Every structure is written in C-alpha cells, then in structure tokens.
Structure 1
Amino acid sequence: MKLVRNVLAIILLITIIWVTFLFISYVTSITILYTLEQFPGNILLSVFRVVIGALTAGAWIAGWYKLTKLWLYKILLPRREET
C-alpha cells in the first residue's frame, strides 16, 4: 500500500512540475521571444521584458527545487515514530 502511495505521489509531483513548466515556457515566450522577434521602439521596455522572462524562469527553477525537496523529505520519506 505504501508503494502505491509513493508512486501516486511521484506521478502527482511530475504532473505539477510539467504543468508549471508549460506555464513558465509560455510566459518566457511572450516576454523574451517577443522582444527578439520584433524590433521594439522602446529599448527600456525590451530590457524589462527580457529581465521579467529571465526572473520568471529562475523563480521556476528555484520553486521546482524547493517543491522537490519538500516532496522528498515530507511526503515520500516521512520520519517514522519510534515505538
């Protein structure tokens, strides 16, 4: 029973990571790629879009690391109470 619970928890974790990855890819594409494909009139706006895209991708990586660490230590490897 514990094996099934762990497998389902891992599948849920992977699903969460992929859904957020797709969202972050979309945000990155509308910020960074838009700036690269079109010659913008305002340079400050272009720099701001690239910075926002890079910060979003970096925040996703940091969040993914924290989520994975939490999932591993709190859900998959809970401490057993000694009896």
Structure 2
Amino acid sequence: MDPKKIEDIARQINESIPAGVKDFAGNIEQRVKTVLQQQLGKLDVVTREELDVQQQLLLRLRQRVDQLERELEAMKRDIDDES
C-alpha cells in the first residue's frame, strides 16, 4: 500500500482524537501509522494494476482453452466421419 495513503489515514485518525487524549498518549499519529503499516503488511493484497494484468491473462487463457476445445471437437468429428 502507498505509504502516503497510510500517512493520510494515520493523520485523519490523529486529528479525530481529542486533544487531552493526544497529550496523554504522546505521538499517536506515529503509533497509528506504525500499527497500520504492520497490519497492512500482513494482508495478502495486490495493486489494481496487478489485478487488471491478471484478469487480462485469465481472459486470454480462457479464450485459448475455448479455441482448443473447439479444435478438439472438430478433430473428433473428423475421426468419426472417417470411421
């Protein structure tokens, strides 16, 4: 995940915390950022671009399988016709 997005999320969380709580807890933004990075690092995620590439590959593979199935059926018909 983009570090800038993590910083933005941490900042938004930090801004939503009342001042008294911020003072008590110290630098919450940095702590939230660290926890977010650790937890997001555990997730098995891909970028949108990677997903799009994989979808395109899958589509091409599906088209190739369909073509091979049609060719196989044609070969079977030819063999049946010869018999």
Report the TM range for the smaller structure's normalisation.
0.3 to 0.5
Higher relative contact order (CA 8 A, sep 6+): 1
Larger Rg: 2
TM-score of the pair, normalised by structure 1: 0.42
